[in-house]
Amino acid sequence: MPNWLKKRALLTPNRQAIIYKGETITFTQLYQAAYEMAGKLTSKGVKNKQFTAVLLQNHLDSAVILLALQLLGVRAVILNNRLTADELIWQIRDSNSVFLLSEERFLEKLSNISDSLPDLPIFKKEELAETPIEGPLIIDEIELDDICTIMYTSGTTGYPKGVIQTYGNHWWSATGSALNLGLHENDCWLCTVPLFHISGYSILMKSIIYGMKIVLHERFDVNETLNDIRKEQVTIMSVVSTTLTMILDYLQEERLPKSFRCMLLGGGPASLPLLERCVKKDIPVFQTYGMTETSSQIVTLSPEDSFRKLGSAGKPLFPSQLKIMQDGREAMANEPGEIVVKGPNVTPGYLNREKDNRKDFQDGWLHTGDIGYVDEDDFLFVLDRRSDLIISGGENIYPAEIEGVLTSHSAIKDAGVIGRQDDKWGEIPVAFLVKKAPVSETDIMDFCKEKLAKYKIPKKIYFIDEIPRNASKKILRRELRKLINE
């Protein structure tokens, strides 16, 4: 395939590509900026096929650096800037990255990194601005099987793994999404999610592949989000449950403009009360299921189905397939089992993890470690991670469902549920809660009795100050387990 950004700049040179802090850059200007950046990187010795780590914040320069690496065919190991220096060092070592590109803002972390990795050349974007341009040797053609990016999983279940994402993975992810959502001439995607996650990076890829305008924010800010949805006539936005809740709270009686057509909701389970609030407010929510390994969403539910299939993640995108496996056979309709997926957007494997690759990939099918079921109409319902499942008296309990109910209580700010060993039942669910208003254990129990079957009601409640979450804001249930074992 021809080089994406070069081709895009040739096809629609004057179309708007990225809007950042009121500044607009066209595809020609974006190509020019990425070309110059590629020249600066070349003069620093960065070369085709090398693994180069990047630690950046969301801004225009980051998009330019990421695209410059693609122009050179450099494999970008994209680091999560919320990680600690130790976590970053671990990933830089694990991926054998030969350079680190970063910026002044992360000075403290960078100094810790260079203490541990004194031989790793670190180039900050501020310094690159002054660097002369050399060459550069731009890749005219890209191989779809070539490695484009490495992104580490969030590390919710253990040590993160470096997911290999090829150009083909990103291509098919963007194509699969367009075949599902359609591509409108006036489409504009708001990116407030990090570019270091597949959620953000995939928006950048869609901009280049579709020729679509994106609005880039440094971080999620509810006020700026609503301003830009109106001002820039945003039509699509990627959200997670917490940001969608903030938007709903902020909107109060107001509505989103009619031109806004899609809230793509992913990253984790969506609670039913949240989805019901969106239905009431006519917010077009597309629930999605995906992971770093599937280069963004792989299963999506359209609003037209969301009333009758509330809570479902939908059906696999056109290029992808899905099945549910239970005891080595394909599960029946409505029978829970492990979610197994296949498709050209699915990673070929984890970097330097032969053992995991043999275990998790069989005949091109990726075993996700998530539990779900497919109903009689082929709609996927994600229940939880296999490792978080609680089995109580032979009944399966999914913490995510209980957490959804608990956080819908007006006095509860946050909730985490785990299983505790129990002589009679094997395991029983217990809840950790963060209050936002005074509330007693009995109030919570009474509330749960109305909404949950008896065996799912937490048998003990612990009030704590904060639910431990990782850099992706996912609940670290292993930390909660430590709290009851202490």
Angle in degrees, CA 469, 473, 479, rounded to 5: 15
Check binding of 245 to ligand ATP (CB under 6 A): no
- Structure-block tokens of residue 92: 């830089």
> Which residue has tokens 């959200």?
239
Identify whether 136 is preceded by a cis peptide bond (ω within 30 of 0): yes
- The residue from 313, 341, 374, 444 that contacts ligand ATP (CB under 6 A) is 313
Check binding of 95 to ligand ATP (CB under 6 A): no
Check binding of 156 to ligand ATP (CB under 6 A): yes
Number of residues that bind ligand ATP (CB under 6 A): 21
DSSP 33: H
Report the C-alpha gap between 393 and 390 in whole angstroms: 10
Tell me how far, at minimum, the Cβ of 339 lies from ligand ATP, in Å.
8
- Structure-block tokens of residue 256: 């989103």
- The residue from 58, 70, 153, 207 that contacts Mg ion (CB under 5 A) is 153
Report the C-alpha gap between 241 and 246 in whole angstroms: 9
Check binding of 291 to ligand ATP (CB under 6 A): yes
In the complex with Mg ion, which residue's Cβ is closer, 136 or 316? 316
Tell me how far, at minimum, the Cβ of 225 lies from ligand ATP, in Å.
21
Stretch that binds ligand ATP, among 5-13, 91-99, 286-294, 326-334 (CB under 6 A): 286-294
Report what 267 binds from Mg ion, ligand ATP, none; CB cut-off 5-8 Å by kind.
Answer: ligand ATP
Closest CA to 142 of 87, 72, 239: 72
Strand order in the sheet with 16-20: 23-26, 16-20, 213-216, 188-191, 236-239, 262-265, 285-291, 296-301, 315-316
Tell me how far, at minimum, the Cβ of 154 lies from ligand ATP, in Å.
3
- The residue from 266, 311, 343, 404 that contacts ligand ATP (CB under 6 A) is 266
- The residue from 52, 81, 368, 407 that contacts ligand ATP (CB under 6 A) is 368
Stretch that binds ligand ATP, among 98-106, 129-137, 154-162, 183-191 (CB under 6 A): 154-162
Check binding of 180 to Mg ion (CB under 5 A): no
Helix axes 272-280, 241-251, angle to 10 degrees: 40
Check binding of 268 to ligand ATP (CB under 6 A): yes
Angle in degrees, CA 322, 202, 361, rounded to 5: 35
Report what 429 binds from Mg ion, ligand ATP, none; CB cut-off 5-8 Å by kind.
Answer: none
Report what 160 binds from ligand ATP, Mg ion, none; CB cut-off 5-8 Å by kind.
Answer: ligand ATP
- The residue from 292, 296, 345, 407 that contacts ligand ATP (CB under 6 A) is 292
Closest CA to 194 of 22, 79, 110: 79
CB proximity list for 84: less than 8 A, separation 6 or greater: 109
Check binding of 370 to ligand ATP (CB under 6 A): yes
Report the C-alpha gap between 473 and 460 in whole angstroms: 24
Report the C-alpha gap between 451 and 406 in whole angstroms: 10
Stretch that binds ligand ATP, among 53-61, 207-215, 266-274, 302-310 (CB under 6 A): 266-274
Report the C-alpha gap between 98 and 80 in whole angstroms: 17
Tell me how far, at minimum, the Cβ of 361 lies from ligand ATP, in Å.
14
Check binding of 475 to ligand ATP (CB under 6 A): no
In the complex with ligand ATP, which residue's Cβ is closer, 188 or 366? 366
Tell me how far, at minimum, the Cβ of 151 lies from ligand ATP, in Å.
8
Let me know if 280 is exposed, middle or buried by CB neighbors in 10 A (0-12, 13-18, 19+): exposed
Report the C-alpha gap between 24 and 29 in whole angstroms: 10
| Alpha-carbon distances, residue 174 vs 60, 181, 204 (angstroms) | 21, 10, 10
Tell me how far, at minimum, the Cβ of 99 lies from ligand ATP, in Å.
25
Binding-residue pattern over the window 424 to 463 for ligand ATP, x denoting contact by CB under 6 A: ----------------------------------------
> Are the C-beta atoms of 123 and 99 separated by less than 8 Å?
yes
Binding-residue pattern over the window 29 to 68 for Mg ion, x denoting contact by CB under 5 A: ----------------------------------------
Binding residues for ligand ATP, per CB under 6 A? 153-157, 160, 266-269, 289-292, 313, 368, 370, 382, 385, 472, 474
Binding residues for Mg ion, per CB under 5 A? 153
